[in-house]
C-alpha cells in the first residue's frame, strides 16, 4: 500500500492507496454533464461563470493558462510555506493545550481553597471547558467555512487568550465555571481550523508529518507550562507575591496567547491567493502543487448532499467512536496529571517539574509517528504503536505498588504517547475527506466525540478513590483497548474500499474530467 488517497467533492475517500492507482473519483452529475465536452480552460471558465459551487482554487486558473511546476520549484515553495506557516501553527497549538490545562497546575497552587471548591467541584470545572467546546463545535466549523479562515481563527485565538486572563479575576466557583465555558467556545475553532490550513497548503504525502508537528506542540506546551508554573510557585514561596501564584499563571499564559493571536492575524493568509509573502506567480503555483489532493483550497457554499454523505459514511462514525473513547482517558489525565503525580509520592512543586518529561515523550512520539506514517503510507498502523506504548504505561501504573514512585512515574510518561492515533485520524480527515462542507462536517463530528470523551474523563477521577484512582485507571485501560479494535476496523475498511474503487477505475466507461479537482 502506498500513500493516502484523497477524495473528490462528491464521494467518500479511502484511507490507504493501492500501488499504481491514480487518485481520481466521480464528481457531481450536473457538473459532469456540463463539463464533459469542454476543454480544460473552457471548463474552468464555464464553472466560474455559471456555478456558485466552484472552489476558490478555480480562480487561479480562470485564464486558461497551462501551469506546470517542476521538482525544484515545488521544493522551494514547500520551504517557503513551511517557514511562514509551521512556526505559527506549532506555537499557537502548543498554547492551545497549555491554556486548557493551566487549571491542572492551578489545582495544586491554591485555587481550590481560594475559590472554595469542595466535593466534585473540580471535576465539573474540568469538564465545563468541553461543554463550551461541544456547544460551539458545529457552529464554529460552519464559520470556518463561511468566513475568511485565517481572520476568524486569529479572532478566536485573541479571545481565548483574553478569557484565560480573566480567570485571574474569579473569586468563586460560579465565576470559574463561566470562564471555563467561554474558554471552550473560543478554543473550539483551533483544531478544525488548523486541519483545514494543513489540507489547504500541503499535499496528501506531506500532511501527516505537518499535522504531527503542530499537534506535537501540545508536548512543548506541557514542558513550557510546567516550567513556568514551577518557577512561579518556587519564586512566590521564596519572595512572596501581591496576588495568588495561580492567578499569575493564568495572566502570563493568557496575555501571551492574545499577543500571538494578533501576530497570527497579520501573518497567516486565508489561502494561497492572498498570501502576501508569496509572489503573484508563486501563489498560482502554490495552488497547482496541491491539485493532486483533489480537494481545492476552500469553498464557502454549504452543500446538503455532502452533509448527507458525511452522516451515512461508516468511516465518519468510526472516527467519532475513536475520538469519544480515546478522550475519556485524555480528559482525566490532562486535568489530573499534577494530582496523579502527587499521588505517586511527590510534593506539589515536584509534580510541576516532573510532569514536563511527559511532554517530551508526546513530542517525540507524534513527530516520529507522523513522519514514519507518511513515509510508509500507513498512518493508522504506525499510530497504533503509540497507543500500545501508552497502554503499557497505564498497566505499569496499575500493577506497580504505591511505594514504587519512580516506576509509576515512568508509566505516566509512557501514557503521553497516546495521542498518536488521534492525530493520524485528524490528518486522514484533512487528507481524505473532500468537499468543504463534508470535511467540516466530519471534523465537527470528530471533535464532538472529542468533547464528550473529555467531559466524561474527569468524572472517572473521583475524590473518594484518591490516591490510587484505581477505577479511573482501569477505565483508561479498557478505553484504549477498544480504541485499538476501532483502529483495526478503520484500516480494514479503507483497504476494502480501495480495492472496490480500483475495480471501478478499470471499467471501460470510466471517465476522469479535467479540472474536477
Each residue's pLDDT, cut to its tens digit, for the chain (517 residues) gives 333 433 333 333 333 333 333 333 333 333 333 333 333 344 444 444 445 555 565 565 555 555 678 889 999 999 999 999 999 999 999 998 887 778 888 887 888 889 998 888 888 888 898 899 889 988 998 898 889 999 999 999 999 999 999 999 999 999 999 999 999 999 999 988 998 899 889 988 888 889 888 988 988 888 888 888 888 888 888 887 888 989 998 999 999 999 999 999 999 999 888 899 999 889 989 888 888 766 655 556 678 888 899 899 999 999 999 999 999 998 778 767 777 787 787 887 778 788 888 888 988 998 899 889 888 889 899 999 999 999 999 999 888 888 888 888 898 899 999 999 998 998 888 778 877 788 888 988 998 898 899 889 888 888 787 777 788 889 999 999 999 999 999 999 988 988 988 888 888 887 776 666 6
pLDDT at 288: 86
What is the per-residue pLDDT for 90? 94
Q: Quick one: which H or E segment has residue 117?
A: none
Q: Residue with C-alpha cell 510557585?
A: 233
C-alpha cell at 458: 474527569
Distance CA 323, CA 192 (A): 14
pLDDT reported for residue 201: 92
What pLDDT does 47 receive?
44
Query: What angle separates helix 379-399 from helix 405-415, to the nearest 10 degrees?
Result: 160
Residue with cell 493568509: 269
Q: How far apart are CA 415 and CA 123, in angstroms?
A: 21
* pLDDT at res. 2: 37
Are 6 and 13 within 8 A, CB to CB?
Answer: yes
Produce one character per residue of 458-481: b if its CB has 16 or more CB atoms within 10 Å, e if not. Answer: bbbbeeeeeeebeebbebbbebbe
Distance (Å, whole) CA 296 – CA 10: 13
Question: What is the per-residue pLDDT for 66?
Answer: 59
Q: State the pTM of this model.
A: 0.72
Q: Which three three-digit cell numbers place residue 428?
A: 486522514
What are the residue ranges of helices labelled H in 26-148? 29-35, 40-50, 71-106, 111-114, 121-146
Separation CA 357–CA 355 (nearest Å):
6
φ, ψ of residue 309 in degrees (nearest 5): -60, -40
pLDDT at 33: 33
Of the candidates 252, 291, 254, 286, the one whose C-alpha atom is nearest the C-alpha of residue 272 is 286
Q: Which three cell numbers stand for residue 337?
A: 496529571
Residue 113 buriedness (CB in 10 A; 0-12 / 13-18 / 19+): exposed
- Look at residue 40 in the predicted model and tell me its pLDDT: 39
SS3 call for 481: helix
48: its cell numbers: 466560474
- What is d(CA 7, CA 132) in angstroms, rounded to the nearest whole number? 32
Residue 5 Ramachandran class (φ > 0 left, ψ -120 to 50 alpha, else beta):
beta
Determine the pLDDT at residue 158.
Answer: 96
pLDDT at 46: 45
Burial of 72 (C-beta count, 10 Å sphere; 0-12/13-18/19+): exposed
Domains contained in the chain, CATH given: 84-505 (1.20.1250.20)
Tell me what pLDDT residue 14 has.
Answer: 37
Query: Among 47, 93, 310, 323, which Cα is nearest to 197's?
Result: 93
Question: How far, in Å, CA of 117 to CA of 174, rounded?
Answer: 10
Q: How far apart are CA 49 and CA 425, in angstroms?
A: 37
* CB atoms closer than 10 angstroms to residue 505: 13
> What is the rounded distance in angstroms from the CA atom of residue 75 to the CA atom of residue 85?
15
User: For the chain, how many residues are written?
Assistant: 517
Contacts of residue 156, defined as CB under 8 A and 6 or more positions apart, other chains included, come to 140, 186, 187, 188, 189, 190, 193, 261
Amino acid 460: pLDDT:
86
Q: How far apart are CA 94 and CA 236, in angstroms?
A: 25
Residue 224's nearest CA partner among 110, 369, 102, 347 is 102
**Are 233 and 150 contacting, i.e. CB atoms less than 8 angstroms apart?**
no
Beta bridge partners of 16: 4
| Set of cell numbers at residue 365 | 512520539
Angle at which helices 204-239 and 190-201 cross, to 10°? 140
3-state secondary structure of 6: coil
Distance (Å, whole) CA 454 – CA 484: 19
Amino acid at each position: 500500500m502506498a500513500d493516502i488517497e484523497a477524495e473528490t467533492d462528491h464521494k467518500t475517500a479511502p484511507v490507504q492507496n493501492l500501488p499504481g492507482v491514480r487518485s481520481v473519483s466521480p464528481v457531481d452529475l450536473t457538473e459532469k454533464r456540463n463539463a464533459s465536452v469542454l476543454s480544460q480552460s473552457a471548463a474552468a471558465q464555464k464553472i466560474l461563470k455559471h456555478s456558485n459551487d466552484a472552489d476558490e482554487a478555480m480562480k487561479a486558473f480562470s485564464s486558461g493558462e497551462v501551469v506546470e511546476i517542476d521538482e525544484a520549484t515545488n521544493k522551494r515553495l514547500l520551504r517557503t510555506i513551511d517557514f511562514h506557516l509551521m512556526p505559527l501553527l506549532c506555537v499557537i497549538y502548543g498554547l492551545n493545550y497549555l491554556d486548557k490545562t493551566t487549571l491542572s497546575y492551578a489545582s495544586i497552587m491554591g485555587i481550590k481553597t481560594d475559590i472554595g471548591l469542595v466535593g466534585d467541584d473540580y471535576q465539573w470545572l474540568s469538564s465545563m471547558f468541553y461543554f463550551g467546546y461541544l456547544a460551539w463545535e458545529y457552529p464554529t466549523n460552519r464559520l470556518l467555512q463561511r468566513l475568511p479562515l485565517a481572520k476568524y481563527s486569529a479572532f478566536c485565538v485573541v479571545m481565548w487568550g483574553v478569557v484565560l486572563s480573566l480567570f485571574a479575576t474569579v473569586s468563586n466557583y460560579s465565576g470559574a465555571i463561566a470562564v471555563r465555558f467561554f474558554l471552550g467556545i473560543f478554543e473550539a475553532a483551533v483544531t478544525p481550523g488548523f486541519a483545514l490550513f494543513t489540507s489547504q497548503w500541503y499535499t496528501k504525502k506531506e500532511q501527516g508529518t505537518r499535522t504531527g508537528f503542530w499537534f506535537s506542540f501540545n508536548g512543548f506546551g506541557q514542558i513550557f507550562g510546567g516550567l513556568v508554573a514551577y518557577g512561579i510557585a518556587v519564586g512566590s514561596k521564596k519572595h512572596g507575591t501581591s496576588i495568588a501564584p495561580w492567578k499569575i499563571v493564568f495572566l502570563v499564559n493568557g496575555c501571551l496567547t492574545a499577543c500571538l493571536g494578533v501576530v497570527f492575524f497579520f501573518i497567516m493568509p486565508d489561502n494561497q491567493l492572498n498570501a502576501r509573502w508569496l509572489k503573484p506567480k508563486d501563489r498560482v503555483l502554490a495552488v497547482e502543487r496541491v491539485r493532486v489532493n483533489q480537494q481545492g483550497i476552500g469553498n464557502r457554499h454549504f452543500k446538503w448532499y455532502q452533509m448527507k454523505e458525511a452522516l451515512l459514511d461508516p468511516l465518519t462514525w468510526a472516527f467519532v467512536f475513536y475520538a469519544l473513547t480515546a478522550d475519556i482517558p485524555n480528559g482525566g489525565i490532562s486535568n489530573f496529571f499534577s494530582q496523579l503525580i502527587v499521588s505517586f509520592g511527590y510534593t506539589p512543586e515536584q509534580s510541576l517539574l516532573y510532569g514536563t518529561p511527559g511532554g517530551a515523550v508526546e513530542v517525540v512520539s507524534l513527530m516520529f509517528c507522523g513522519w514514519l506514517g507518511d513515509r510508509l503510507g500507513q498512518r493508522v498502523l504506525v499510530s497504533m504503536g503509540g497507543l500500545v506504548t501508552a497502554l503499557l504505561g497505564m498497566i505499569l501504573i496499575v500493577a506497580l505498588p504505591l511505594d514504587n514512585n519512580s516506576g509509576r512515574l515512568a508509566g505516566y510518561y509512557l501514557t503521553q504517547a497516546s495521542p498518536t492515533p488521534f492525530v493520524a485520524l485528524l490528518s486522514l480527515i484533512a487528507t481524505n475527506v473532500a468537499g468543504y462542507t463534508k470535511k467540516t462536517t466530519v471534523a465537527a463530528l470528530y471533535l464532538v466525540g472529542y468533547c464528550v470523551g473529555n467531559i466524561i474523563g474527569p468524572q472517572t477521577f473521583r475524590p473518594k478513590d484518591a490516591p490510587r484512582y484505581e477505577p479511573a485507571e482501569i477505565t483508561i485501560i479498557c478505553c484504549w483497548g477498544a480504541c485499538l479494535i476501532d483502529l483495526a476496523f478503520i484500516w480494514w475498511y479503507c483497504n476494502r474500499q480501495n480495492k472496490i474503487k480500483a475495480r471501478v477505475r478499470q471499467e471501460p466507461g470510466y471517465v476522469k474530467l479535467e479540472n474536477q479537482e
